[in-house]
Amino acid sequence: MVVGSGKTHTMMGEQGSEIEKGLVPRLCQELFDSISEDTQAQYTINISYLEIYNEEIADLLNPGKNENLQLREHPELGFVF
């Protein structure tokens, strides 16, 4: 029996299951569906997927680049690392 708070399952869901998709796959699908409907515009998408654990930040999309990552809040850009 696995005991946890369900954060990972909530974010990622069950792979291969349309019903059990998590927030990240649903958000990405909706984003790309919306973009594909608009053929007149160009888009640039920047995605960060970070894990903050024990006050350390890990970039889950680029695991080899996790040295000294710091999260800061910019007045205009919001949170940046």
Tens digit of each residue's pLDDT (9 = 90 or more) over 56-67:
788 888 877 767
What integer best gives the mean pLDDT of the chain?
Answer: 81
Residues 38 and 55 in one domain: no
Q: What is the pTM of this model?
A: 0.60
Residues 20 and 32 in one domain: yes
**Percent of residues in the chain assigned helix, strand, coil, to nearest 5:** 30, 20, 50
CA-to-CA distance for 62 and 76, rounded, in angstroms? 25
Residues 36 and 4 in one domain: yes
Residues 38 and 50 in one domain: no
Read off the pLDDT band of 33 (50, 70, 90). very high
CA-to-CA distance for 55 and 65, rounded, in angstroms? 17
